[in-house]
């Protein structure tokens, strides 16, 4: 069922990184303006002040200066701001700047000792802490990190699902492995869980689909990366939305009021995985077709090779004798073949 209101969900948005005072403000100004126009209440504005990068030499964030810019945003728009922290010293700096909300990133989340030292730094304080999943698919580790903050007396703790590192080539940057956050939800039903579709996707065009899937699973909200000028972003440029795109994303989501059907959603997630593999494979197939075309041209071999194509057809037919499916395969192969000939020509 479609609800028109975005109420009741936790919406967090903002750039991957705070790059300059202008970029932080321009993004915030447009985000809050669009949010207001679309009746979306922003729970918090996000921006990384210290960026943990896989390789050295990349943009590592504006550091402590960014905290002053963010505090300005917090005061101007009367909305909390949040950053990522990787050690207790950064928690202290946040407190010095009046910032009371942070998240533990996926790379820090693999290190329980570091997480514990951060939990000790916020013992019995009013900080809001979001714990992202570790990059490896280890639910115990994720839960352990969350428990460290709960045990430290932090009242407001949330989990953020940002996908898991995936060595296989995939359309998505990080594998969603939905069964893991769902399991977390089952084990800790009181814990709000947000989805970060930006880091799952690594690209703009899949964000809406992943965000909708998360809401279908009953996630409590989204943390989305938005930047005033994504193409000039110093980090994660391909996945950031403009503030306007962010507002249309949120407005376009279906918020379900009924309890989600987990069985159905699991199957949908399976289908989504298969679709992303098919899409990746079709793209790879097209590249190989192009390479074949070059070899044929260099060696003066004709484009159409009927016998060769017969082998392809047999490969597709082997799964079942179901007549309806066979007809579908014939039609599909016809399109594939025609397209392949066209490209080779």
DSSP state of 109: G
Contact partner, 121, from ligand PEP, Mn ion, none, Cβ < 5-8 Å per class: none
| Cα separation, 106 vs 180, whole angstroms | 15
Q: Kindly tell me which of 24 and 336 has the beta carbon lying closer to ligand PEP.
A: 24
Which tokens go with 321? Answer: 């004798």
Half-sphere exposure of 84 (CA within 13 A, CB side): 26
One character per residue 215-244, x = contact with ligand PEP (rule: CB under 6 A): ------------------------------
In 3-state terms, what secondary structure has residue 222? strand
Q: 323: which DSSP letter?
A: H
Encoding tokens for residue 157?
């703790």
> Which one-letter DSSP state was computed for residue 227?
-
Contact letters (x/-) for ligand PEP, 93-112, by CB under 6 A?
------------xxx-----
Site for ligand PEP in 132-191 (CB under 6 A): 132, 162
Minimal distance in Å, beta carbon 114 to ligand PEP? 13
- x/- track of binding to ligand PEP for residues 69-88 (CB under 6 A): ---------------x----
Pairing of strands 128-132, 156-161: parallel
Q: According to CB under 6 A, which residues from 7 to 66 bind ligand PEP?
A: 16, 48
CB of 339 to ligand PEP, least distance (A): 37
If one asks whether residue 84 binds Mn ion (CB under 5 A), the answer comes out as: no
Contact 216, 260 (CB under 8 A): yes
Q: Phi-psi region for residue 174, left (φ > 0), alpha (ψ -120 to 50) or beta?
A: beta
Q: Which listed residue (9, 148, 173, 199) binds ligand PEP by CB under 6 A? A: 199
67 binds ligand PEP (CB under 6 A): no
Per CB under 6 A, residues contacting ligand PEP are 16, 48, 84, 105-107, 132, 162, 199
């Amino acid at each position: 069922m479609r609800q028109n209101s975005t109420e009741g969900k936790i919406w967090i948005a903002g750039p991957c990184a705070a790059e300059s005072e202008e970029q932080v403000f321009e993004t915030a100004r447009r985000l809050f303006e669009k949010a207001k126009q679309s009746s979306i209440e922003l729970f918090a504005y996000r921006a990384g002040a210290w960026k943990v990068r896989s390789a050295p030499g990349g943009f590592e964030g504006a550091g402590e200066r960014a905290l002053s810019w963010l505090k300005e945003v917090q005061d101007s728009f009367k909305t909390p701001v949040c950053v990522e922290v990787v050690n207790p010293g950064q928690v202290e700096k946040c407190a010095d700047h009046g910032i009371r909300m942070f998240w533990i990133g996926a790379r820090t989340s693999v290190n329980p000792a570091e997480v514990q030292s951060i939990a000790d730094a916020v013992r019995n304080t009013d900080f809001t802490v979001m714990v992202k999943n570790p990059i490896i698919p280890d639910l115990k580790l994720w839960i352990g990190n969350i428990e460290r903050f709960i045990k430290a007396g932090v009242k407001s703790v949330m989990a953020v699902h940002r996908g898991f590192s995936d060595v296989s080539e995939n359309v998505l940057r990080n594998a969603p492995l939905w069964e893991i956050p769902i399991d977390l939800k089952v084990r800790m039903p009181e814990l709000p869980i947000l989805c970060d579709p930006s880091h799952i996707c690594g690209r703009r065009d899949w964000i809406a689909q992943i965000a909708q899937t998360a809401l279908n699973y009953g996630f409590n909200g989204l943390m989305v990366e938005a930047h005033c000028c994504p193409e000039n972003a110093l980090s994660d440029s391909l996945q950031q939305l403009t503030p306007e795109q962010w507002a249309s994303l949120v407005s376009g989501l279906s918020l379900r009021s009924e309890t989600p059907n987990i069985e159905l959603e699991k199957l949908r997630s399976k289908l989504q995985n298969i679709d992303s593999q098919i899409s990746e494979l079709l793209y790879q197939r097209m590249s190989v077709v192009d390479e074949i075309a070059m070899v044929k041209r260099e060696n003066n071999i004709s484009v159409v090779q009927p016998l060769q194509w017969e082998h392809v057809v047999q490969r597709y037919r082997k799964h079942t004798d179901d007549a309806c499916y066979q007809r579908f395969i014939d039609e599909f192969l016809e399109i594939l073949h025609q397209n392949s000939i066209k490209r080779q020509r």
